[in-house]
Homo-oligomer: A and B are copies of this chain.
């Protein structure tokens, strides 16, 4: 079984690529589902499905080809199914406060509810082996990060805060009516949250299981998009998810008959070189800019064939963790997998949140997690294809750079 995440900035074409991947895999004979976490909900548009059909389906999986299902989360349906007691309590609160009905329904959706609903599906689909391959069409980067960090946050919340809140509610319930017109939540509310949490158990292990889960970063050959792709790369690594491919979408192919495209072609070629220095040694795939919108199974399949060129999308394209961040006992270390790099002098320069590594002709830029931004690289060593960089001290030397 495989769990494949397609992630990237809004508008790069994640949905089309996730959909195309689903078609390719289903044709191999594997039972596949593409689950969209993007609130923009364009998965059904990619398959050119009738919108009203999708709306009537209310967020359940819908079959679009042999062995292929797609699913767009409907947050209102999820709330009814999973958040009944929680939603009921919030609605009571909202109703006692004179917020108009029409807004109350929108406001009772708390941040995180969509991500938790998606995690519940992932957990269930994997554990009940309902599909051979689960493809996630992720939300734009910021929400995707929340998605992968939620299991950890929730575990912490349940262990620490939840039980305290529950006990306080139990102790205060008899007297609360005297001090406020707001009712305290009943214990059913806490029971519902507990049940929900139990259904999430183990999902963080699934996401960080390298044999099961791979993240593919989708990007375009444009300055603004590449910056966010670098940042996503850092975040997924920080949360110990494996990125095993970078997909550059919408590459203008050379067309000497048109000056317009010629100029774009040249600029994209420059960015392609940058992509290699940002993401090496992760394999890089590319997809041409098509002459028409990629809508409908036929065009999606063509996109998929062009993207994978006979390779199997279920393969693990890169087996190593490209980088790991370790902070223990006030020691902060970054460990990078850098095969094929000679034993030249290692040159490190930190500029703002970015670390530039030069080893001979090789150059690599990485964006640092927040804890590292105020530190300086102190010592670097290359051993058996791994570069280990120790950080320490403060950033007084930042402006001069730091050469090891």
Q: Please state if A160 and B260 are interface contacts (CB–CB under 8 Å).
A: no
Q: Please state if A102 and B179 are interface contacts (CB–CB under 8 Å).
A: no
Q: Please state if B179 and A164 are interface contacts (CB–CB under 8 Å).
A: yes
A51-B351, A101-B371, A224-B42 known; A94-B156 Cβ under 8 A:
yes
Q: Please state if A153 and B107 are interface contacts (CB–CB under 8 Å).
A: yes
Q: Which of A23-31, A123-131, A290-298, A376-384 lies at the interface?
A: A290-298
Verify if A198 is at the interface (C-beta below 8 Å from B): no
A182-B160, A227-B42 known; A370-B97 Cβ under 8 A:
no
Q: Please state if A369 and B106 are interface contacts (CB–CB under 8 Å).
A: yes
| Complex-state Cα separation, A296 to B153, whole angstroms | 40
Residues in B neighbouring A228, C-beta threshold 8 A: 40, 42
Verify if A163 is at the interface (C-beta below 8 Å from B): yes
Residues in B neighbouring A10, C-beta threshold 8 A: 9-11, 140
A224-B46, A260-B261, A260-B291 known; A93-B55 Cβ under 8 A:
no
Binding site for B on A (CB under 8 A): 9-12, 15, 39-42, 45-46, 51-52, 54-56, 76, 93-94, 96-97, 99-103, 105-107, 111-112, 139-143, 146, 149, 152-153, 156, 159-161, 163-164, 167-168, 171-172, 176, 179-180, 182, 184, 222-225, 227-228, 238-239, 255, 257-261, 263-264, 267, 291-293, 295, 325-328, 332, 351-354, 369-371
Q: Please state if B224 and A40 are interface contacts (CB–CB under 8 Å).
A: yes
Select from chain B the residue with minimum beta-carbon distance to A16: B224
Q: Please state if A164 and B182 are interface contacts (CB–CB under 8 Å).
A: yes
Residues in B neighbouring A159, C-beta threshold 8 A: 97
Residues in B neighbouring A371, C-beta threshold 8 A: 101-102, 105
Q: Please state if A55 and B152 are interface contacts (CB–CB under 8 Å).
A: no
Pick the contact of A257 from B41, B96, B239, B258 — CB < 8 Å?
A: B258
> 5 nearest interchain CB pairs?
A11-B11, A10-B10, A55-B352, A111-B111, A42-B224
Residues in B neighbouring A369, C-beta threshold 8 A: 102, 105-106
Q: Which interface residue of A56, A103, A153 has the most chain B CB atoms within 10 A? A: A103
7 A-B residue pairs with Cβ-Cβ distance under 8 Å, sorted by A, are A10-B11, A40-B142, A42-B227, A52-B351, A107-B152, A111-B111, A172-B172
| Complex-state Cα separation, A241 to B15, whole angstroms | 30
A39-B142, A45-B224, A258-B260 known, 12 other contacts, Cβ within 8 Å: A51-B351, A52-B352, A52-B354, A54-B352, A97-B156, A102-B327, A106-B370, A107-B152, A111-B146, A167-B179, A222-B293, A264-B292
Residues in B neighbouring A257, C-beta threshold 8 A: 257-258
Closest Cβ of chain B to A99, distance in Å, is 6
Q: Please state if A45 and B179 are interface contacts (CB–CB under 8 Å).
A: no
Select from chain B the residue with minimum beta-carbon distance to A93: B160
Residues in B neighbouring A263, C-beta threshold 8 A: 291-292
Q: Please state if A260 and B255 are interface contacts (CB–CB under 8 Å).
A: yes
Residues in B neighbouring A103, C-beta threshold 8 A: 149, 152, 238-239
Q: Please state if B11 and A9 are interface contacts (CB–CB under 8 Å).
A: yes
A111-B146, A258-B255 known; A102-B12 Cβ under 8 A:
no
A99-B156, A111-B112, A149-B106 known; A293-B255 Cβ under 8 A:
no
Q: Please state if B164 and A176 are interface contacts (CB–CB under 8 Å).
A: yes
Q: Which interface residue of A12, A100, A106, A179 has the most chain B CB atoms within 10 A? A: A106
Residues in B neighbouring A11, C-beta threshold 8 A: 9-12, 225
Residues in B neighbouring A41, C-beta threshold 8 A: 227
